[in-house]
């Protein structure tokens, strides 16, 4: 798929007739970047209407070896040109499905409390493909309540890891706990595809060594309900114990 086709598909997903303005707190994020240490992650402020990056954190060059000025000047079209060709179509489908899900299933008041994650392979300055996991939180919505400006956080992982292209949407609830609202794999069917979103949330906390009581408090449900979820998860995955489940997931983190 050529860049022109990608641009048309991307603009169709995020189509809007507004010209949104950056909020004041975005500038505070930029100011804070000067004090954050370099790491294997970086962040950008993205504008899906202008296809530009409003800001790129200083860690981007150390992560990918690419000059930030080049990325700012080339915008999203330059960024897309470095995504692995085999990942373009599933990546665009992931974006489109996430947008449709948001508009169809998430209330207007909750859309600024959403968080989205997807991944792809990206060519760095050494002409090597690395895995990038992108996590985006909306900062500005248009009049039709579509996300148009976002804070995008990128984690760069070793190219030798095989990652399926997946997309996830989570809602920050009243307890400041993320709840999985949407999950899909766009590469192949995963082991845990048969699990419900609530069961995924339970697994995520089990991997973090939460007890049934702690999980129950997080989701405002009873410990008995959590234990029922745990039994159902083991039955669906045909494994004998929670310990086996947690060990399997820690060895294969990409399936969550």
DSSP string across 78-95: HHHTTB-HHHHHHHHHHH
Average pLDDT over residues 117-129: 93
Q: What is the CATH number of domain 190-256?
A: 1.10.10.10
* Cα distance between residue 92 and residue 69, in whole Å: 25
Do strands 166-172 and 41-47 pair parallel, antiparallel, or not at all (unpaired)? unpaired
Domain boundaries, the chain: 3-188, 190-256
With beta carbons less than 8 A apart as the criterion, state whether 92 and 10 touch: yes
At 93-121, the pLDDT tens digits run: 888 888 889 888 988 888 888 889 999 99
- Give the number of other CB atoms < 10 A from CB of residue 120: 21
* Cα distance between residue 13 and residue 26, in whole Å: 24
Residue 186 has pLDDT above 90, yes or no: no
Comparing 26-40, 144-158, 168-182, the range with the smallest average pLDDT is 26-40
- 8-state DSSP, 253: G
Residue 240 has pLDDT above 60, yes or no: yes
Split at pLDDT 50, 70, 90, the class of 226 is: very high
Q: pLDDT value at position 206? A: 84
User: Which run of H or of E encompasses 64?
Assistant: helix 59-64
Split at pLDDT 50, 70, 90, the class of 236 is: confident
Tokens of 163: 């990652």
* Cα distance between residue 146 and residue 122, in whole Å: 26
Mean pLDDT, rounded, of the chain? 80
Question: 90 or 39: whose pLDDT is higher?
Answer: 90
In the beta sheet, which residues pair with residue 151?
45, 137
Q: End-to-end CA distance of the chain, in Å?
A: 29
Q: pLDDT value at position 191? A: 52
In the beta sheet, which residues pair with residue 182?
169
- Give the number of other CB atoms < 10 A from CB of residue 125: 12
* Cα distance between residue 68 and residue 78, in whole Å: 12
Split at pLDDT 50, 70, 90, the class of 15 is: low
Question: SS3 of 177, please?
Answer: coil
Q: Class assignment of domain 3-188?
A: alpha beta
Q: pLDDT value at position 93? A: 86
Nearest to 118 by CA among 153, 149, 84, 148: 153
* Cα distance between residue 48 and residue 77, in whole Å: 11
* Cα distance between residue 48 and residue 52, in whole Å: 7
Q: pLDDT value at position 254? A: 46
CA 214, 215, 219, 223 dihedral sign is negative
At 28-78, the pLDDT tens digits run: 666 666 665 556 789 898 888 888 998 899 899 999 999 999 999 999 999
Average pLDDT over residues 192-201: 77
* Cα distance between residue 235 and residue 229, in whole Å: 10
């Amino acid at each position: 798929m050529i860049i022109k086709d990608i641009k048309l598909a991307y603009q169709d997903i995020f189509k809007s007739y507004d010209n949104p303005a950056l909020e004041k707190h975005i500038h505070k994020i930029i100011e804070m970047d000067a004090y954050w240490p370099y790491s294997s992650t970086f962040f950008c402020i993205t504008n899906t209407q202008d296809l530009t990056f409003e800001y790129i954190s200083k860690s981007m060059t150390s992560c990918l070896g690419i000059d930030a000025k080049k990325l700012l000047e080339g915008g999203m079209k330059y960024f897309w040109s470095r995504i692995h060709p085999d990942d373009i179509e599933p990546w665009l489908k992931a974006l489109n499905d996430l947008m449709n899900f948001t508009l169809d299933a998430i209330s207007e008041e909750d859309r600024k409390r959403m968080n989205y994650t997807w991944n792809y392979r990206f060519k760095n300055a050494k002409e090597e493909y690395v895995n990038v996991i992108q996590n985006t939180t909306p900062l500005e919505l248009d009049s039709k309540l579509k996300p148009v400006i976002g804070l995008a956080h990128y984690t760069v992982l070793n190219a030798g890891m095989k990652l399926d292209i997946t997309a996830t949407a989570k809602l920050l609830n009243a307890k400041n706990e993320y709840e999985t609202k949407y999950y899909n794999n766009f590469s192949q069917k995963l082991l845990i595809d048969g699990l419900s979103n609530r069961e995924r949330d339970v697994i995520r906390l089990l991997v973090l060594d939460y007890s049934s009581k702690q999980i129950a408090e997080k989701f405002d449900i009873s410990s008995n309900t959590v234990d029922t979820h745990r039994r159902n998860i083991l039955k669906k995955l045909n494994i004998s114990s929670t310990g086996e489940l947690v060990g399997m997931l820690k060895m294969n983190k990409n399936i969550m």
